Amino acid sequence: MYMKTIMLVCAGGMSTSLLVNKMKKTAEERNIDVDIFAVSAPEVDNAIEKKNVDVVLLAPQVKYMKNQFESKLKEKNICMDVINMQYYGMMNGERILEQALELIDM
């Protein structure tokens, strides 16, 4: 099984860094092989060109950009969704990791 890659997108790339750490900790505890990283919205195009991304999760503050990314990601067969606002606000890394993995397995 290959390593899955999860990219989180937020306005500045800062608010998701704590979330990335919590998701990585959960993945490690569950022995799930994933690469999780965060970028700011302007960095999305560059990131999907450089990395083999499986799923993109948008932070609630950039959900308005979903349509902007949809066609680009669909062309590359990359799943995308918006992170549940409650899970994001609580920095629930476990639940957000589950959300990403469910999208990959669809």
Topology of the domain comprising 4-105: Rossmann fold (3.40.50)
For the cut 70, the answer to whether the pLDDT of residue 1 exceeds it is no
Cβ-count burial of 37 within 10 angstroms (0-12 exposed, 13-18 middle, 19+ buried)?
middle
Question: Of 10, 48, 53, 56, which one is the catalytic site residue?
Answer: 10
For 36-68, the pLDDT digits (tens) are: 999 999 999 999 999 999 999 999 999 999 999
| Strand order across the beta sheet in which 4-10 lies | 34-40, 4-10, 55-58, 79-82
- Say if residues 34 and 55 touch (Cβ distance below 8 Å): no
* pLDDT given at position 105: 84
How far is the CA of 86 from the CAs of 5, 59, 61, 83, in angstroms? 23, 11, 12, 9
Domain ranges for the chain: 4-105
Give the span between the Cα atoms of 17 and 90, in whole angstroms: 14
pTM greater than the 0.85 cutoff? yes
Respond yes or no: is residue 79 known to be catalytic.
Answer: no
How far is Cα 106 from Cα 96, in angstroms, rounded to an integer? Answer: 16
